Structure 1
Amino acid sequence: MEPVDDASPAVSTGPAATTSGRDLRALPKAHLHLHFTGSMRHSTLLDLADEHDVRLPDSLRNEWPPQLSAADEKGWFRFQRLYDLARSVLRTEADVRRLMREAAEDEAAEGSRWLEIQVDPSGYGARFGGITAFTDLVLDAARVASEHTGVGIAVVIAANRTKHPLDARTLARLAAKYAGRGVVGFGLSNDERRGTIHDFAPAFSIAHRAGLLSVPHGGELLGPDSARSCLNDLRARRLGHGIRATEDPALLERIAGEEVTLEVCPASNVSLGVYPTSADVPLRTLLAAGVPVALGADDPLLFGSRLLAQYTTARATHGLDDAELAALARGSIHGSSAPPELRKQWAEEVEDWLATTP
């Protein structure tokens, strides 16, 4: 496969973004599921790898996007190894600021009004003077990028479920320190098959007391039991993925009733082998059940598509009309941590979009 030049923020969206309906770039939306390193442009990865003499495998250079699967732990290990390699090109403060600025530029180009970007500072602290110093850098980079693009940017600090729960408590205390100062939530990421969700409850209690949203990953690789544990043990108000809650009607009804937003990432579901094709992602099942859904891109660097492509897929593959796509955008705005007055303004802009002539 020839490498794709994604220096333009319109990468992997294609002409369908503006055909067969209203322009999806103009649809106001919030992006609630985007990982820090995974937000990097492929062209930036190549630039920084060359600048810092980091050797990349063909799957990240000439055969991008990589062929992935997480159907077993070996597949997840390969995915994580590629992510770690990509993270290793971030060597300087300028690199971090570039990544954040470009992520914000890409969001602005795709109609995002608000971005909540997720990061585990412990993966970067050794190179950037510790987890507190790195968090300071990310938050300042987010502030500058927001001023540059007009996109509101907040940070979710996430623990790693493959590490000890005590490490998660350290990160929860860090997140709590920055509550109200740019950090809006606390998450739990990495391979769902590792760790026990209940063991991370004390960390989430620390974050909850600080007023932070509980936004763990769950309900993807391990199915509905994982999603249920996130609700029961971690008091989740949003679920990263959560897509396999569709396999348990009672759980699906509970999620809808409690208005827990699911951050659904169709491209990553397919790339990681959760579903064989985009058509198999049960997006319509969620919508029919009344579940709040916010589409997300997860890790565009590894999956090859950004947020706009998820909306394009919802239109082209799942047959969602513009009213249903507007409902998805409203769900993303409502599920965000943006100030109420901004959420109200953006929701009105969604109605304005829907009122335009296709």
Structure 2
Amino acid sequence: MRQRPIELLPKAHLHLHFTGSMRHGTLVELAQERGVHLPHALVEEWPPRLRATDERGWFRFQRLYDIARSVLQRPEDVYRLVREAAEDEVAAGAQWLEIQVDPSGYATRFDGLTSTLELVLDCVRAAERDTGLGIGVVVAANRTRHPLDAKTLARLAAKYVDHGVVGFGLSNDERRGRAREFEGAFRIARRAGLLSVPHGGELGGPRSVRECLDELEANRVGHGVRAIEDPYLVERIATQEVTLEVCPSSNASLGVVRDVAEVPLRRLFDRGAPIALGSDDPLLFGPRLAEQYHIARESFGFTDSELAELARMSVRGSAMPESRRKRMLGDIDSWLADPIE
């Protein structure tokens, strides 16, 4: 049976981490140029075998991530990362990207938090000009750091709300920091008009998702797949139209599920939960955005009409300007209306 090409389906990508967006070839090349030794898992065994459901596994995942971050030592490295990420998104059919960054991870290298965020925003503007992709930046706090650090980042994000920052997130191991501890930071961000987009319901269960809704007033939840364990919570997500940023390849790679076919994508979709497919950290997991749509088609039987609805959900859940939103929704309708040759 002939099917419409997924790479031509207009879509928004709402769950992509900054360092994790790097191409593997770029990682290897920059490591050689900057004198960074890469472990076997990031070279010969790429993508690495990961399982982060226990503390040791998460530590290994975080260590590989930190090593990858260390190759970005000069402004031109950051420009390259963002430009290549934008090119990869366009190739996948994305017309809008929200890329998530914690400036704290680069602050010592690029003269502080403010300079780091301004560098990222400059890179984003250049990538938009070069590729035509619309890009928003999500500033993310780290659950494993003090909530006061998160407030500092929230104030920083609020200052750049009219300069490309569109949301405020909360990442890292949700077992080591309850969402409620970061309510103050998210209150600052919301008052500035930023979307609330914390991670939850990946390594933690439904309680983690509920806290994101109750304490952080989440507009979207990063991952959120374990909400499926509580039918009432899924109904609430559907009713409140809270978008879940579901990343199938990531969930399988980190051991959240044993196999990608066990990701509750179909069950969440059928129960009305808004879903935006994401690739999370393709540098460590391999597949990028288009592959997540292929997984929906091949592993869960999504029809072209349902894939189009997933794309619409990604657009509706985004922070893109209204004019772009209307245009993209029309482009999605056109993709679905085109006859299959």
In structure 1, the residue matched to 2:153 is 171
In structure 1, the residue matched to 2:217 is 235
In structure 2, the residue matched to 1:74 is 56
Supply the distance in 2 between the matched residues of 1:71 and 1:105 (Cα, whole angstroms).
32
In structure 2, the residue matched to 1:182 is 164
Counterpart AA for 1:291: A
In structure 1, the residue matched to 2:249 is 267
Supply the distance in 2 between the matched residues of 1:254 and 1:267 (Cα, whole angstroms).
26
SS in 1 for 2:95: strand
Aligned match for 2:308, one of 326, 330, 341: 326
**Number of residues paired by the alignment?**
340
In structure 2, the residue matched to 1:93 is 75
Supply the distance in 2 between the matched residues of 1:124 and 1:20 (Cα, whole angstroms).
46
SS in 1 for 2:97: strand
In structure 2, the residue matched to 1:84 is 66
The runs of at least 4 consecutive aligned structure 1 residues that moved more than 3 Å come to: none
Supply the distance in 1 between the matched residues of 2:161 and 2:56 (Cα, whole angstroms).
37
Counterpart AA for 1:143: R
Supply the distance in 1 between the matched residues of 2:285 and 2:189 (Cα, whole angstroms).
30
Counterpart AA for 2:37: R
1:187-226 equivalences in 2 (<5 Å): 187-226=169-208
In structure 1, the residue matched to 2:112 is 130
SS in 1 for 2:318: coil
1:41-56 equivalences in 2 (<5 Å): 41-56=23-38
**Aligned 8 A contact 2:13 2:97 in 1:** yes
Q: Identity of paired residues, percent?
A: 64
Supply the distance in 2 between the matched residues of 1:99 and 1:71 (Cα, whole angstroms).
29
SS in 2 for 1:273: coil
Supply the distance in 2 between the matched residues of 1:208 and 1:38 (Cα, whole angstroms).
26
**Aligned 8 A contact 2:178 2:208 in 1:** no
Supply the distance in 1 between the matched residues of 2:288 and 2:294 (Cα, whole angstroms).
10
In structure 1, the residue matched to 2:336 is 354
Q: Cα distance, 1:196 vs. partner?
A: 2.1
Supply the distance in 2 between the matched residues of 1:39 and 1:283 (Cα, whole angstroms).
23
Q: Cα distance, 1:317 vs. partner?
A: 0.6
SS in 1 for 2:140: strand
1:111 and 2:93 aligned: yes
1:31 and 2:13 aligned: yes
**TM-score normalised according to structure 1 size:** 0.94
Counterpart AA for 1:281: V
- Superposed CA RMSD in Å reads 0.7
Cα-to-partner distance string for 1:299-332 (whole Å, 9 max, x where unaligned): 0000011000100011011110100000000000
Counterpart AA for 1:22: R
In structure 2, the residue matched to 1:314 is 296
Q: Cα distance, 1:20 vs. partner?
A: 4.4
Q: Cα distance, 1:116 vs. partner?
A: 0.2
Counterpart AA for 1:340: E
Q: Cα distance, 1:223 vs. partner?
A: 1.1
Counterpart AA for 2:30: L
SS in 1 for 2:335: helix
Structure 1: segments with no counterpart, 5+ residues:
1-18
